[in-house]
Amino acid sequence: MELLGKNYLKVEALSKRFGDVCILSDISFSVAKGEFVCIVGSSGCGKSTLLRSLSGLDTAYEGRITVDDQEVKKPTKHIGYIFQENRLFPWMTVEENVGFSLDSGTREEKRRKVSEAVAMVGLKEAVRQYPKTLSGGMAQRANIARTLVNKPEVLLLDEPFGALDAFTKINLQEKLCEIRSAEKTTMIMVTHDIEEAIYLADRIIILDKNPGVIKKIIKVDLPRPRDRNGNYFNDLRKEIYGYFFETKEIVEDYNI
C-alpha cells in the first residue's frame, strides 16, 4: 500500500508525569495516513498512557499531538479507541452496543451503519445476543464493531487480542487486515505479542521503561499476507526480542 502524508499523525516531544513519576519522556514519532504502527513494550512502560493521549482523553502532558495538522485536544469520532478492557454494556444486545455511539442520522441510516460494522467483523449472526452470551473473541469483535461504526480515520487499539487464544487471535488479526485494506484506516495498536506486531505492522515502535522512551523504531518490510515462518519474519522476531534483553541503549535516530 502506498503511504501518503508521512506526517499525518505527529507526536512531538511528548512527556507525561503522574505526580513525581515521569512515565513517558520526550516521545516523538509520526505516522503516515493508512499506516499500521504497533507499539510494544513491557508492562507498565506507558503504552496505554500514550494511547490515551493520542485519543484526546488525556491532555495533561507536555508536547504536542496532531492529526492532519489539527491538535488533538479532546476525543473525536475521527479517532476510534478500542480500550484494553471490554467496555460493552451488558444490558444491551450486540447491535444496541454497536449503535450506541451513533448520534446522527435517521433510524434507517443508523441501522445500515450498524449492520455494515457488524458485517465487517463477521458478527451478523449474533446481533441480538447479549454480551454475556458471547465468547471472548465475539465480544472483542463486537467491541471493534462499536468503534468502526463511526468510520474513524485513526483507530487506536490497546491490546485488543491480549486475552484471546491463539486461533481466535489469528482470525481477528486477519479481520483487522481486511478492515484496514477496505477502509484505509490509520491504525496504532499496542501489543505484548511480538509476532503479532511483525504480522500486522508497517513499523514497530519499541518502548523502554522507567521512563518510557522510544528505544527503536523498526520498519517491517514484508509483503502481505505475511509468512509467519519466513526467514525474514524469524530474523525480525529475534532482533526485537534482543531489544528487550540487551543493556539499555537509546537509539537516537528514530525520527522520520
Give the interface with ligand ATP as residue ranges (CB under 6 A): 18, 23, 41, 43-49, 84
Instruction: Among 48, 86, 129, 234, indicate the residue that binds Mg ion (CB under 5 A).
Output: 48
Distance of closest approach, residue 27 Cβ to ligand ATP, in angstroms = 12
Amino acid at 51: L
Decide whether 14 or 117 has the Cβ nearer to ligand ATP.
Answer: 14
How far is it, in rounded angstroms, from Cα 27 to Cα 137? Answer: 33
Please, what is the minimum distance in Å from the beta carbon of residue 45 to ligand ATP? Answer: 4
Task: Count Cβ atoms below 10 Å from residue 141 Cβ, excluding itself.
Answer: 24
Selection from 77, 78, 45 nearest residue 190 by Cα = 45
Q: How far is CA 74 from CA 96, 132, 241, in A?
A: 25, 32, 35
Kindly tell me which of 39 and 127 has the beta carbon lying closer to ligand ATP: 39
DSSP string of 27-79?
EEEEEEET-EEEEE--TTSSHHHHHHHHHTS---SEEEEEETTEE--S--TTE
How is residue 122 written as a grid cell? 463477521
CB of 209 to ligand ATP, least distance (A): 8
40 binds, among Mg ion, ligand ATP, none (CB under 5 to 8 A by kind): none
- Select 80 or 160, whichever has its Cβ closest to Mg ion: 160
**Partner whose footprint covers residue 49, from Mg ion, ligand ATP, none (CB < 5 to 8 Å by kind):** ligand ATP
Q: Which is nearer to ligand ATP, 24 or 155 (CB)?
A: 24
Least spacing, CB of residue 169 vs ligand ATP, in Å: 16
129 is an interface residue for Mg ion by CB under 5 A: no
Backbone dihedral region of 5: left (phi > 0), alpha (psi from -120 to 50 degrees) or beta? left
Report the residue closest to Mg ion, judged by CB: 48
